Amino acid sequence: MKSGKKHARIFLSPPHMGELEQKYVAEAFASNWIAPLGPHVEAFQREFAATIGVSHSLATVSGTSALHLALQLVGVGQGDDVFVSSLTFAASVNPIRYLGATPVLVDSERESWNIDPALVLQAFKERAKIGKLPKALVIVHLYGQSANLDPILECCREYEVPVIEDAAEALGATYKGRPVGTFGRAGVFSFNGNKIITTSGGGMLVSEDRRLVTHAFKLATQARDPAPYYEHSQVGYNYRMSNVLAGIGRGQLRVLSERVAARRRNFEFYAAALKDLPGIEFMPEASWGTHTRWLTTMTITPAEFGIDRDELRQRLDAANIEARPVWKPMHLQPVYRGCTALGGLVSEDLFRRGLCLPSGSNMSPADLERVVTTVRDAARQPVLTRAVS
Ligand SMILES: *Cc1c(COP(=O)(O)O)cnc(C)c1O
**Is 88 near ligand 1, meaning CB less than 6 Å away?**
yes
pTM, whole model, 2 decimals?
A: 0.95
CA of 63 from ligand 1 middle (Å) equals 5
In angstroms, the CA 27 to CA 327 distance is 39
Render each residue's pLDDT in the chain as its tens digit; 389 residues.
444 457 899 999 999 999 999 999 999 999 999 877 889 999 999 999 999 999 999 999 999 999 999 999 999 999 999 999 999 999 999 999 999 999 999 999 999 999 999 999 999 999 999 999 999 999 999 999 999 999 999 999 999 999 999 999 999 999 999 999 999 999 999 999 999 999 999 999 999 999 999 999 999 999 999 999 999 999 999 999 999 999 999 999 999 999 999 999 999 999 999 999 999 999 999 999 999 999 999 999 999 999 999 999 999 999 999 999 999 999 999 999 999 999 999 999 999 999 999 999 999 999 999 999 999 999 976 555 444 43
DSSP string, 190-257: E--TTSSS--SS-EEEEES-HHHHHHHHHHHBTTB-SSSS--BSS---B-BPBHHHHHHHHHHHHTHH
| Pairing verdict, β 81-85 and 102-106 | parallel
- Determine the number of helices (DSSP H) and then strands (DSSP E) in the chain: 14, 14
Q: Hey, where are the domains in the chain?
A: 19-254, 257-388
In angstroms, the CA 226 to CA 163 distance is 30
Report domain 257-388's class: alpha beta
Task: Tell me which residue of 316, 302, 303, 307 sits closest to 356, measured CA to CA.
Answer: 316
CA of 167 from ligand 1 middle (Å) equals 8
**Is 192 near ligand 1, meaning CB less than 6 Å away?**
yes
Atom 8 (ligand 1) nearest CA:
192
* Domains 19-254 and 257-388 belong to one CATH topology: no
In angstroms, the CA 340 to CA 123 distance is 11
**Is 64 near ligand 1, meaning CB less than 6 Å away?**
yes
pLDDT at 5: 53
pLDDT at 381: 62
- The DSSP call for residue 65 is H
* CATH number of the 19-254 domain: 3.40.640.10
Return the exposure string of 371-383: e unless at least 16 CB atoms fall within 10 Å of the residue's CB, then b: bbebbeebbeeee
